Amino acid sequence: MENHNKGQWSSSFGFLMAAIGSAVGLGNLWGFPYKMGMNGGFAFLLLYLILVVLVGFVITTGELALGRRSGKGVVDAFKSIDKKYGFIGWFAWISPLLILGFYCMLGGYCMKYAIANLGDLFGASWGVNGADSGEYFAGFYTDQFQTVLFTVIFILLTVLIVKGGVSGGIEKFTKVAMPALFVMLVIVIIRSVTLPGAAEGIAFMFKPNWEVFQGSGFISVLAAAGGQMFSSLSLGMGITVTYGSYMKKTEDIERNAIIVPLADTIIAIMAGLAVMPAVFASGLDPAGGPGLLFVTLQTVFQAMGGFGPIFGFLLYALVFIAAITSSIALLEAVSSVIMDRELEKNPNADKKSVRNKSVFLVSAIILLEGIFVSVDGLGANGLPQIFGQGCWLDTFDLISEGILMPLGACYMAIILPNAFVDEELTLEGNRFRTRRFYDFCIKFIAPLMMVLVLLGQIDTFFKLGIFG
């Protein structure tokens, strides 16, 4: 069943840019380099690569096939296997909806920092102006007016692109934005690795430290690499199913399921090369989280002298691009489910107005969420908290990335019939070269890994120390 009521990618390149854009996001730019450094460097990278092949590739293949076969958003896609599986689709619908609120807030932070570095370049009053980076950041994220403002602007930009439709909005934007991101990343890497003392940062990332595998260490590194791989590839959250539903039947799913994870991994490693050498060259702490991006790196740029604001602007602008190409994917995944509902009620409805209505409805919810997490100011503004988390960003992340996503992906791997995938991958003369490999990994390795990721996430969110 092919259903292009909601749109279709106009070219293979367009699909690839959109799909890579959905995967490359905030997770790559600060999560990956930090986790790699803290979990044994090259040892982590090796496990990460194995997991990308054994789990990332097969779940991406399954999700793309499910999406294209059903031609529907994630809820109806799961219902197309069997009505009783609709709940897995709802899991994958709630997650991006929860993530969007804080993701757009962090995207708004990047806009603020890109603008502030531009201000420094012109010596304007709205620059950072040599302020202490830690104080500047704390002053910003607790300033409810400013954070709400930037969050709302970021949400409106996301909505504007998604409103333009699959090929006229998302594809058109990502086809320009992703190559631009790549070029900017290369420029920042060249600066970063040529700073005096940069070698230490490269060693932090790549130096093999096999000792981390001792005792329960292996499981702990495996859980960290699995969690990173899984959210970096935007799996278990409807995005890949939705983007698959807009693919032409002539497209080779298997080939695309190799290219997207590979590109995502290459960009994650490149992000590490842009960030870590600069952090070490300045003698700063490589610890992760928002502090790495908005305090540590800002300190690095301030220490660079006259050229600092240029590299600062480039880096925050490229992280902004990475964030918005992911937030449009998150919004499309949530909205497409509403569009399916509307089109089911009224199959002859004007497609443009169905899209507009659905996107606006979802945007209203995201605006409320985004304003709420911005007002919370990373937990510093005194709002009551739940589930023992320090801020509402963490609570939304716990429910989505922590629980619903790995659980949903685990279910999917188990219930998705191999015959469906086989049929979908061999259409139009395409060959399914890795069929046996896929059949084995999706039924045995992927569910096991997803359970491990689930345990790892619960361990991290509740600081249980199960994995040491």
Q: Which is nearer to ligand PFF, 185 or 212 (CB)?
A: 185
Q: Which helix (H) or strand (E) holds 280?
A: helix 253-281
Q: Do 138 and 291 contact (CB within 8 A), yes or no?
A: no
Tell me which amino acid residue 314 is: L
The least distance separating ligand PFF from the CB of residue 205, rounded to whole angstroms, comes to: 18
The least distance separating ligand PFF from the CB of residue 276, rounded to whole angstroms, comes to: 18
User: Which residues between 23 and 62 bind ligand PFF (CB under 6 A)?
Assistant: 23, 25-28
The length of the chain, given as a count of residues? 468
For the chain, the C-alpha Rg in angstroms (whole number) is 21
Choose the stretch contacting ligand PFF; rule: CB under 6 A; options: 229-237, 290-298, 352-360, 365-373.
229-237
The least distance separating ligand PFF from the CB of residue 365, rounded to whole angstroms, comes to: 17
The least distance separating ligand PFF from the CB of residue 357, rounded to whole angstroms, comes to: 26
Size of residue set near ligand PFF by CB under 6 A: 13
Task: Show the tokens assigned to 23.
Answer: 């995967």
Choose the stretch contacting ligand PFF; rule: CB under 6 A; options: 57-65, 231-239, 293-301, 303-311.
231-239
Q: Which helix (H) or strand (E) holds 225?
A: helix 217-232
Measure the CA–CA gap between 37 and 276, rounded to whole angstroms: 9
Q: Is 232 in the site for ligand PFF (CB under 6 A)?
A: yes
Binding mask 80-109 for ligand PFF (x = CB under 6 A): -------------------x----------
Task: Show the tokens assigned to 232.
Answer: 């970096």
Measure the CA–CA gap between 80 and 83, rounded to whole angstroms: 7
Q: Which is nearer to ligand PFF, 131 or 262 (CB)?
A: 262
User: Which residues between 385 and 424 bind ligand PFF (CB under 6 A)?
Assistant: 400-401
Residue 314: name the closest of 180, 170, 194 by CA.
180
Q: Which is nearer to ligand PFF, 32 or 438 (CB)?
A: 32
Tell me which amino acid residue 375 is: V
For ligand PFF, the binding residue among 70, 192, 220, 234 (CB under 6 A) is 234
Task: Show the tokens assigned to 216.
Answer: 């329960």
Choose the stretch contacting ligand PFF; rule: CB under 6 A; options: 19-27, 202-210, 289-297, 433-441.
19-27
Measure the CA–CA gap between 44 and 12, rounded to whole angstroms: 32
Q: Which is nearer to ligand PFF, 302 or 374 (CB)?
A: 374
Q: Which is nearer to ligand PFF, 120 or 401 (CB)?
A: 401
For ligand PFF, the binding residue among 39, 133, 158, 231 (CB under 6 A) is 231
Q: Which residues have a Cβ under 8 Å from the Cβ of 188 and sit 6 or more positions away?
A: 274, 311, 314, 315, 318
3-state secondary structure of 217: helix
Q: How many CB atoms lie within 10 A of CB 79?
A: 18
User: Which residues between 323 and 352 bind ligand PFF (CB under 6 A)?
Assistant: 326
Query: Using CB under 6 A as the criterion, which residues of the chain lie in contact with ligand PFF when the complex forms?
Result: 23, 25-28, 99, 231-232, 234, 237, 326, 400-401
